[in-house]
Structure 1
Amino acid sequence: MDKLNLRRELSSARASLSPEQLRANAIKVRETLLDQPWVQMAGLVACYWSTGTEPETHGLVFALWKHGATVVLPVLREDYDLDWAVYDGPDSLAPGRFGIMEPVDTRRGVDAIRTAALVIVPALAVDRKTGVRLGRGGGSYDRALTRVGPNVPTVALLHDGELIDDLPAEPHDRHVRFAVTPQGLISLM
């Protein structure tokens, strides 16, 4: 299946999840991540503020921040690359482009992700054999992931059924090292 049709199919499956299932998934994913020692020790975490039916990150971002991590969230630039700004609690966010919540803190630049000890990214799917992630098609996270060091844990958050075999990939598509679903943590590389 080509990427466009796969994105449609995955988005449709997400749309069929009930609010109760989305909440239950968010709790399981958050608890799985927070149980990992390498997550607990990460001083600077790059994450994202979820929207719609994405695996919800609001509680995760808040928990990481309350546990003392510095959390940076993306700010979408005009060229669709990602700038980064520090999350400083729920009151530090405002709607940005496309209505996605962004930190109001000073922008740290596209290279701020280079210093992250943990990078958590959205994905519609991840290939279980190669770790290639399928995003929404804008390439923002593929560009950002090129700036992440090779030993930094990169994690995609997924719903059940989104870890698949033989995901179509192109040379610019980036890999992640881990996926977290409601079923648990999967090491991919």
Structure 2
Amino acid sequence: MTSLNTAKNELRARLVQARRELSTEDRAAFTAAVRKHLESELTASMTVAAYWPLDSEPGGADFVPWLKEHVSRVLLPISGKNGTLTFAEYRGKEAMHESPLGLNEPQGPSFDSSVLAECDLVLAPAMAVDAKGNRMGKGGGYYDRALEPLPHGKPPVFAMVYPAELVDELPTEDHDRKVDAAVTAEGITCF
């Protein structure tokens, strides 16, 4: 188990460094391409659970406002002290605040992760996704726990990753939750 955790942590460190080394132009091109691919999946009546991308994460700083222009409702995570996520509706930038973890989180009424079953699509953060749909997050297990009770594909779970982060194989553990698709600049890859 320790060697698996070490392998995951070393891979995460390399991926974070690679993200930081991307040029502003490459990030902008990626963001535009990902949004174009996602837009073909979105309808005005949808409820989508998403996340607010940080610094070098795929999606861009204004991803959530962009998403809200294309769907009816956007739910964003709130990180709990016990490693769980609750979700609250995005009600504009003025209703966001910075959490103790440095994340942009919504204020207002929140719901436990069972609300994800009511969504039409879940966009989960990822450091990488492999050819079998295994998702590697940042290591806290928040999303693995939140997604665990959902049946595969209901709702579909997509991860946004840079092209080099769609890999052949990732080190996995039994609790790791797979995704249904990965969105890159090249398109949407379903598993």
TM-score, with length taken from structure 1 = 0.91
Is residue 88–residue 106 contact of structure 2 (8 Å, CA) maintained in 1? yes
Aligned residue for 1:135? 137
Q: Note the C-alpha offset of 1:58.
A: 4.5
| CA-CA distance at 1:86 after TM superposition | 0.3
Residue 98 of structure 1 aligns to a residue whose secondary structure is coil
Question: Which residue is 2:38 aligned to?
Answer: 33
Q: Partner of 2:164: helix, strand, or coil?
A: coil
Greater Cα shift, 20-29 or 70-79: 20-29
Unaligned runs of 5+ in 1: none
Paired residues for 1:122-161 under 5 Å? 122-128=125-131, 130-150=132-152, 151-161=154-164
Q: Give SS of 1:13's match.
A: helix
Task: For 1:73 and 1:58, locate their aligned partners in 2 and report how far apart those are by CA, in whole Å.
Answer: 14
Q: Which whole-Å CA distance do the structure 1 matches of 2:20 and 2:60 have between them?
A: 17
Give the Å deviation of 1:147: 3.1
Q: 2:185 is matched with which residue? A: 182
CA distance in 2, matches of 1:76, 1:16: 28
Matched, 1:168 2:171: yes
Between 53-62 and 25-34, report the one with greater CA deviation: 53-62
CA RMSD of aligned residues (A): 1.6
CA distance in 2, matches of 1:57, 1:87: 16
Query: What CA distance in whole angstroms lies between the structure 1 residues aligned with 2:71 and 2:35?
Result: 16
Cα shift at 1:178: 0.5
2:6 equivalent to 1:4 = no
CA deviations 1:24-81 (Å, max 9, x no partner) are 2111111110122xx2266211000010211025444223322342100000001121
The SS at the match of 1:180 is strand
SS of the residue corresponding to residue 64 of structure 1 reads helix
User: Percent of pairs identical after alignment?
Assistant: 36
Measure, in 1, the Cα distance between the counterparts of 2:149 and 2:55.
27
> Partner of 1:101 in structure 2?
104
**Aligned match of 2:116:** 113
Superposed CA offset, 1:55-111 (max 9, x none): 025444223322342100000001121110000122221111222111112112232
Give the C-alpha shift of residue 149 in structure 1: 3.5
CA contact (8 A) 2:86 2:110 kept: yes
| TM-score, scaled to structure 2 | 0.90
